[in-house]
Amino acid sequence: MRKHLNINSILISKILYWIMRHTVTHRGEAADVLKKDIDLEASVIHLRPNALHSLKNDYKERNPPIIQPLADKLNA
């Protein structure tokens, strides 16, 4: 039987969904985004190696834009 998700797990799942939907990132990339990788001032998400995730290739590091629908979700 599955454990019930707590409110933080639900919120994180929703954020990951919106990141994947509006930046066309893969599930693994979105799951490894750290809070510091979300740059609302520059309107980008930094997809780069971190303690949770390494990149397969150097060219995989990128900065997809945060479009307005995603910004609205992240600021909510």
Whether 11 maps to a domain, the answer reads yes
| CA pair distance 6, 41, nearest whole angstrom | 30
Whether 62 maps to a domain, the answer reads yes
Alpha helices in 1-76 (DSSP H): 7-23, 27-31, 68-75
- Total tally of structural domains belonging to the chain: 1
Domain that holds residue 39: 7-75
- Consecutive sets of 10 residues in the chain, 76 residues long: mean pLDDT of each? 62 89 87 89 89 69 92 87
**Whole-number CA gyration radius for the chain:** 13
Which pLDDT does position 2 carry in this prediction? Answer: 46
Q: Return the CATH number at 11.
A: 1.10.443.10
The amino acid occupying position 48 is: R
- The separation between CA 45 and the C-alpha centre of its own chain, rounded to angstroms, equals 7
Whether 1 maps to a domain, the answer reads no
- Supply the pTM of this predicted model: 0.74
